[in-house]
Amino acid sequence: MKTLLQTAICFASISLSFAEDAPKPKPRPAPLVSPEVLPDGGVTFRFKAPKATEVKVSGQFGADTALAKGDDGVWSVTVPKVPAGVFEYHFSVDGMNVIDPQNSALKPQRWPGSNILHIPATPPAPWDWQDIPHGVIHVHSYASKALGKPRRILVYTPPGAGDVALPVLYLAHGYSDDERTWSVHGKAPWIMDSLIAGKKAVPMILVMPDAHAIPPGAAGFEDYGPANSDALCRELVQDIIPLVESSYKVDARPAARAFAGLSMGGHHALTIALNYHEKFNWIGAFSSAPPPAKSVSAGLDNAEGTNKDLRLLWIACGKKDFLLQRNNEFNALLKEKGVRFEFVETEGGHEWPVWRNYLTEFAPKIFR
């Protein structure tokens, strides 16, 4: 017994000696933080690329800015005085656009390529989180009879939604985005929460469909746009409206149904205004890619019927938007045909900071 004890002590001494001689593991490096919002209003961006020769950050908050390389292979730059807002950005690494791997906030897109930087305003803007009652986002997957494939919509119900039948705003995204973009990046739920809490808009349901009823192909938008809008309109009538009105307490009158969209979604909105005005009496077209006259001739050639149904056709576009001229041309066509509309020309270009403002301005106008 004594021999066994001595042997155990010996082995323990040897093991301890080896443990003392073993190299200690290197401490784990501190995590890379990007973007880092600083107390003075600046934002620091960091990107690890030891072999890169040039790194820039490109965002909606200002001009492209070069990063400087540190000895550890981490590139960094501090952009001063970034204004409040919700912005897209990405890095350019030796000419290749890449996302910020340290930032999990990605803009939902059909072809993802941007991060989100959200700088809250003081006092909060409608698209900032506020300590007010908030609605709920629901996700519905369904088999589209019109399209013959599985599809998905997001539905926002306002705070306190109960037994009262509510009006519905159908809200469409643009060409590069998907059904999540109005919610995640457009901040539509927070905007509606703010407007409803401030009694600036009536409580309403938002329905955010995938505005690509058919997938984009090699054809240009001049061919794709009308075909896609035709398919989406069929899906709205056959699938989406029945799903919404059977799942929620909804006012099913056309006077309680609105449609708004941006860019490609604006193409949908103008198509619905002129071809389906008996089903949607309120229309918002934001920075639209207008449809060709031949695809909306039914409404153009029957201005009296169109004007009778439409409570509001609201069209908005920015002064720096590349689609402004086409909007002006389409507005001239509407005026020539006698179709009533409101047009607002604003500051800004073809970008989400403009479209959040448009939703904030449009929603209080409807269902009144």
> Could you report the per-residue pLDDT of 189-236, keeping only the tens digit for each?
999 999 999 999 999 999 999 999 999 877 788 889 999 999 999 999
191 and 356 Cβ atoms separated by less than 8 Å: yes
Same domain, 185 and 316: yes
Does any domain span residue 21?
Answer: no
Candidate from 211-220, 287-296, 327-336, 350-359 with smallest mean pLDDT: 211-220
Q: Is the pLDDT of residue 291 over 70?
A: yes
Same domain, 218 and 349: yes
Does any domain span residue 196?
Answer: yes
Q: What is the CATH number of the domain that holds 90?
A: 2.60.40.10
Confidence at 7, pLDDT banded by 50, 70, 90:
very low
Same domain, 282 and 163: yes
The two three-digit tokens of residue 289, written as one number: 């890619």
Same domain, 112 and 258: no
Query: 3-state DSSP call for residue 241?
Result: helix
Does any domain span residue 23?
Answer: no
Same domain, 57 and 99: yes
Confidence at 22, pLDDT banded by 50, 70, 90:
low
Query: Which residue, of 91, 119, 147, is where some domain finishes?
Result: 119
Does any domain span residue 333?
Answer: yes
Q: Is the pLDDT of residue 1 over 60?
A: no
Q: How many domains does the chain have?
A: 2
Quick one: average pLDDT of 285-289? 98
Q: What span, in angstroms and rounded, lies between the C-alpha atoms of 226 and 315?
A: 19
Please tell me the predicted confidence (pLDDT) of residue 162: 81
Mean pLDDT over the full length of the chain: 93
The two three-digit tokens of residue 8, written as one number: 């155990």
Q: What span, in angstroms and rounded, lies between the C-alpha atoms of 229 and 214?
A: 9
Provide the percentage of residues in the chain whose pLDDT is more than 70.
93
Does any domain span residue 144?
Answer: yes
Query: What domain range includes position 84?
Result: 36-119
Q: What span, in angstroms and rounded, lies between the C-alpha atoms of 349 and 138?
A: 31
| Torsions phi, psi for 60 (to 5 deg) | -75, 0
Q: What span, in angstroms and rounded, lies between the C-alpha atoms of 322 and 35?
A: 30
Query: Which residue, of 119, 147, 172, is where some domain finishes?
Result: 119
Quick one: average pLDDT of 93-113? 96
> Could you report the per-residue pLDDT of 135-154, keeping only the tens digit for each?
999 999 999 999 999 999 99
Which CA distances in Å does 91 have to 45, 59, 72, 337?
9, 9, 19, 47
Which CA distances in Å does 356 have to 175, 188, 326?
17, 8, 21
Q: What is the CATH number of the domain that holds 170?
A: 3.40.50.1820
Does any domain span residue 12?
Answer: no
Please tell me the predicted confidence (pLDDT) of residue 18: 46
Same domain, 337 and 242: yes
Please tell me the predicted confidence (pLDDT) of residue 64: 96
Query: 3-state DSSP call for residue 142?
Result: strand
Same domain, 155 and 54: no
> Could you report the per-residue pLDDT of 331-345, keeping only the tens digit for each?
999 999 999 999 999
Same domain, 229 and 293: yes
Quick one: average pLDDT of 8-30? 56
Q: CB within 8 A of 3, min separation 6: which ones?
A: none
Same domain, 320 and 172: yes
Quick one: average pLDDT of 115-123? 97
Does any domain span residue 346?
Answer: yes
Same domain, 282 and 314: yes
Please tell me the predicted confidence (pLDDT) of residue 14: 44
Alpha helices in 248-351 (DSSP H): 264-275, 297-300, 303-309, 324-337
Helix (H) or strand (E) holding 245: helix 241-247
Task: Tell me whether the omega of the peptide bond preceding residue 123 falls within 30 degrees of 0, making it cis.
Answer: yes
Query: Which residue, of 60, 84, 119, is where some domain finishes?
Result: 119
Same domain, 218 and 304: yes
Quick one: average pLDDT of 115-129? 97
56 and 91 Cβ atoms separated by less than 8 Å: yes
317 and 288 Cβ atoms separated by less than 8 Å: yes
Confidence at 31, pLDDT banded by 50, 70, 90:
confident
Paired sense of beta strands 62-66 and 74-79, if any? unpaired
Please tell me the predicted confidence (pLDDT) of residue 184: 98
* 338 alpha-carbon distance from chain centroid: 34
Q: Is the pLDDT of residue 329 over 90?
A: yes
Please tell me the predicted confidence (pLDDT) of residue 21: 56
Q: What span, in angstroms and rounded, lies between the C-alpha atoms of 219 and 221?
A: 7
Same domain, 158 and 209: yes
Rg (CA), the chain: 27
Does any domain span residue 14?
Answer: no
Of 207, 181, 203, 208, nearest in space to 133 by CA = 203
Q: Is the pLDDT of residue 242 over 90?
A: yes
The C-alpha angle 115, 117, 118, rounded to 5 degrees, equals 140
The DSSP call for residue 328 is H
Exposure letters 235-246 (e unless 16+ CB within 10 A, then b): bbeebbbebbee
Q: Is the pLDDT of residue 360 over 50?
A: yes
